[in-house]
A and B are shown apart, each in its own frame.
Chain A
Amino acid sequence: MLTILFDGIAYGMVLFVLACGLSVTMGLMNFVNLAHGAFAMLGGYIAVLLMQKAGAPFLLTLPAAFMGGAIVGLVLERLLYRPMYGKTHLDQVMFTIGIVFMAVAGADYLMGSSQQIIRLPSWLQGRFEIAGIGIGRYRLFVLCVCGLLAFSLQWGFTKTRFGSRLRASVDDARVARGLGIPVNRLFALTFAIGSGLAGLGGALGIELMGLDPSFPLKFMIYFLVVVTVGGTSTITGPFFAAMLLGVADVAGKYYVPEIGAFIIYVLMVVLLIARPEGLFARARS
């Protein structure tokens, strides 16, 4: 039981790293970016290519995946995304679905449609037991990395000047602009970090979620659930939403495999009926 809880938390941690960038960009610019998963897939493939073709060690591929996602995110934000901010949600949805489709077909063309497998270094393989709880080494590693990230994000968001400017912009972009905060630059940077985190999550997630060209479509709903349930104005909201989703998904698939795939949808529906504004949304006047 606790093993499942542990696996679920590790899974949720990866989900959090994957989705947190999305929740901030959605909150900040009120921009619906369904293509977020494409950045995660990019990170995943960067890790795979570096390990398979260049023989790079796994640990080195993680910052590379982050950088890859961040750089592509920065470039796309400047070239393509920025003109979209003023448009309707419908346009944003169509536009980002277009990007997803191109990414899916492109990945299929370049990498083939099969599932990618990576060889983890031996010190990350296998599991050990503590007090009867089976702990996968890799999952523990993921837990530590993502936990650390979550803490530093929370710190960065609440304690630094960058974070306070960001929060001001999330609350009201117009007022923030009036106060002389460079909202556009701030957003470009946030977008890059968010995309980078997605890339990192994609690389970390290969072992847990798999990686094939349909990744951005398959996990789109997960990201949306994390963002909608978690709300878009905090780091902790999406964090707990991701944990909840991760544990529910893993436990559901383990205990009731026949209907395990439905668990997250049921969870989503129940949560939305109970709290239509999001589980951790701040009350707004």
Chain B
Amino acid sequence: MTTLHDRVRSSLYGARRWHPVEFIFWALALASFWLFPRHLLLMNEIAILALFALSLDLILGYAGIVSLGHAAFLGLGAYAAGLLAKHGIGDPLIGLLFAMIVSAVAGLLASPLVVKGNDLTRLMVTLGVALILHEVANSWASLTGGADGLQGITITPVLGLFQFDLFGKTAYLYSLSVVFVLFLVARRLVHSPFGLSLRAIRDNVLRASASGVPPSRRLAAIYTIAAAYAGAAGALMAQTTQFVSLDVLDFHRSADVMLVLIIGGPGYLYGGMIGAVVFKFLQDTIAAFTPQYWMFWIGLFLVLFVLKGRSLVHGGIASLLKHFPGLRMRKTP
């Protein structure tokens, strides 16, 4: 009995144990600061996109909620942080917290619509919420600056010590730290009883409720948390660029982040990170020779990826992960 008890413990521990590859991953992310000093601004964008994708992973990869409008919370966070800084409170950490709270409240308010429906209603509701916010930001120009964007944001140094600079040094380290901390929280979360119950709901909602899991409340909870994460990504965006444009709420943001997550693979937390690197690299390369028709190429990429590429890319990642039992890739919902 003691041996079985121990086996159960070590097996449950194995599922959440840190694998060496994870340490290497984060060490590389930090080392990039010195390795690519001329690309810090791009790397900052990657870190922010990775956080945004991590947020989507929490609802899509772990809870099976499809969203066509995740940019709603990104944009809300960006405007919240931007407006706070514009009106005198320029401390980045306070702004970050404020943005997360604002987005979380919005997520909580939207959650009853999202947790109820099937995939189709969810697509429509999420898309609708994002469109409403876009329209609000557009019409309420006295507050948001409308189509001209929100200007005049001044951010004070991080912790009162590190001033934001033109090369993105502070920006990258600040964003990377925030992403890392939020990643740690997410990692803890998905391996908790709460996280396990989300996977239960995603896998089989009938069995989940027959196992004592209340699906609606759990889904509302993770939707709220994910909204806060997206809000954090928005805040980082606003603070490190000191500008918020209407573009943060645009439909293409929601579509991009889905693509980012799908490239990397949902349901194991690192998908969004890997996807963000690949996506930004693609965007940079394509933009170098045909900037105006980026949308066409991204569309072609999506179509080919779903038709053929997924098995290729994920086959590669999965065969890599096979050597690392702690990092199992989950099936897509």
Contact = CB atoms under 8 A, between A and B. Distances in A.
A173 interface: no
Interface string A247-271: 0000000000010011001001100
Nearest to B304: A98
Contacts of A102: 295-296, 299-300, 303
Interface residues of B, number: 41
Nearest to B303: A98
Given A104-B295, A258-B139, A276 B123 contact: no
Contacts of B302: 94-95, 97-98, 101
5 contacts: A26-B120, A91-B332, A98-B306, A101-B296, A221-B124
Contacts of A72: none
Interface in B77-133: 112-113, 116-117, 119-121, 123-125, 127-128, 131-132
Between B121, B127, B301, B306, the greatest number of chain A beta carbons within 10 A of the residue's beta carbon is seen for B306
Interface string A91-111: 101110111111111101100
Interface in B205-229: none
B42 to A, nearest CB: 23
Interface of A: 26, 32, 80, 83-84, 87-91, 93-95, 97-106, 108-109, 217, 220-221, 224-225, 227-228, 258, 261-262, 265, 268-269, 272-273, 276
A75 B192 CA distance: 49
Contacts of B119: 32, 89
B133 to A, nearest CB: 10
Given A101-B295, A102-B299, A272-B121, A220 B127 contact: yes
B113 A32 contact: no
B307 A95 contact: yes
A93 B299 contact: no
Contacts of B259: 94
A90 to B, nearest CB: 5
Interface string B276-308: 000000000000000001111011111101110
B253 to A, nearest CB: 12
B51 interface: no
B299 A98 contact: yes
Contacts of A104: 295, 299
Contacts, number: 119
Contacts of B60: 90
B135 A262 contact: yes
A93 B132 contact: no
Nearest to A106: B296
Nearest to B130: A221
Contacts of A272: 113, 116-117, 121, 124-125
Q: What does DSSP make chain A's interface, helix, strand, loop or mixed?
A: helix
A87 B303 CA distance: 13
A93 B303 CA distance: 10
Contacts of B295: 101-102, 104-105
B204 to A, nearest CB: 15
A90 B127 contact: no
Given A102-B295, A265-B128, A265-B135, 20 more contacts: A80-B303, A88-B333, A91-B332, A94-B262, A95-B302, A98-B305, A99-B299, A102-B303, A105-B295, A105-B296, A105-B299, A221-B124, A221-B131, A224-B127, A225-B124, A262-B132, A265-B132, A268-B128, A269-B125, A276-B117
B121 A276 contact: yes
B124 A84 contact: no
Contacts of A100: 299
B54 interface: no
Interface string B134-148: 011001000000000
B135 to A, nearest CB: 5
A240 B300 CA distance: 36
Given A105-B299, A217-B251, A269-B128, A90 B120 contact: no
Nearest to A268: B128
B249 interface: no
A207 B124 CA distance: 26
Given A221-B128, A224-B127, A97 B255 contact: yes
A224 B119 CA distance: 12
Contact of A95 (B66, B117, B303, B333): B303
B296 A261 contact: no
B66 A93 contact: yes
B68 interface: yes
Contacts of B47: none
